[in-house]
Structure 1
């Protein structure tokens, strides 16, 4: 079995190495910022050889992209509470916890920094947004199947996700539960009456 095949196998040493390297990248981004560390720094922090990182990821940019996409897409699973309002509130609260956690800001900054690092960074941005859109669409599709009239994905991004990200990136006032719920409420109130179902009304 060659190294590439071994790297593709889930679990075992390969999974431990991947987790250690991802954690090392996240820690270094938080401590030093984007562009202030090398593959050697990551390897030393993760306790692996430089060659292991190059063999598995090929380049620093590929590794950083993998970390950003894996961490951001894995942290906010789509809820299924039985109502659109409940799903949006639960999801928004999960995103708020994610980006204000000990690693959330570092990963968010890494994702933004990658968009200015050439074509690979732009692809990382597109992949991340594409995955977020796909997951949000699955939540909104469930609402349609229940007879509700959900907003568009872009409305969710504009009215809920963007304000959360901006507040965290610029160190604005904290993301309190009332603030997060208020974003959801304003989005639902902005929907035309013909597209909105009151929570107490049967589906």
Structure 2
């Protein structure tokens, strides 16, 4: 599905978008982000640069769109058999993925997204899936989990010399769950 509203989710538009997204992902494997250009991506995707400019406006918006598409989870969050275990496993995986170099770049790119709130929706859906596994247990709200786990994780990744320590993340999980 196209991130930019108004585009058809299938047909030629979807094929062109996938071709351009694939070109970006392939080029990022062999080139520095700072060296990527719209003409280079267009040539790799087999489209004209005007196709990219017309759909995304500029390179930063295209990179944000690719990053948002990559942020979609591959599957359901881990099921450890307990709410605390599931939230802890999710938080550790999120910290690990986002503090990697590709994760950091993704977070930076997403800041240029034309769809504010999309990241919160992705993370919220993952956390909601965890909470729904344990309907008989009192659990925190999704917003509380985002505020106490995702927000400090992202802040430290983007604005600190070191990512959040796993031990501190575990303490935040306990606070979020009221333990």
Q: TM-score, normalised by structure 2?
A: 0.74
Pairing of 1:181-196 with structure 2 (within 5 A): 181-189=170-178
Quote the RMSD (CA, aligned, Å): 3.3
In the alignment, what sits opposite 2:147? 158
What does the per-residue CA deviation read over 1:104-149, in whole Å, with 9 as the maximum and x for residues that have no partner? 111101112x15xxxxx2xx222232232222212111122xx211
Query: Which structure's CA Rg is the greater one?
Result: 1
Instruction: Tell me the residue number matched to 1:136.
Output: 127
Alpha-carbon distance in 2 for matches of 1:150, 1:27: 44
Where do residues 5-24 of structure 1 align in structure 2 (5 Å cutoff)? 5=11, 8=14, 18-24=21-27
Instruction: Check conservation: 1:77, 1:91, Cα contact below 8 A.
Output: no
The Cα of 1:7 is off from its aligned counterpart by 5.9
SS of 2:117 mapped into structure 1? helix
Give the drift of 1:23.
Answer: 4.5
Deviations 1:143-197 (A, max 9, x none): 22xx21110011001111111001000124333321221211222236xxxxxxx
Structure 1: gaps spanning 5 or more residues: 116-120, 191-203
Which residue number in structure 1 is paired with residue 38 of structure 2?
39
With the length of structure 1 as denominator, give the TM-score of the two structures. Answer: 0.67
Count of paired positions: 168
Residue 178 of structure 1 is matched in structure 2 by: 167
- Measure, in 1, the Cα distance between the counterparts of 2:171 and 2:29: 31
- Structure 2 matches for 1:27-176, cutoff 5 A? 31-32=33-34, 38-43=37-42, 47-51=44-48, 54=51, 58-60=55-57, 63-74=62-73, 77-112=76-111, 114=112, 121=114, 124-144=115-135, 147-176=136-165
In the alignment, which residue of structure 1 is the partner of 2:4?
none
Deviations 1:70-106 (A, max 9, x none): 1222368522211110011100011111111121111
Aligned residues of 2:88 and 2:173 also touching (Cα < 8 A): yes
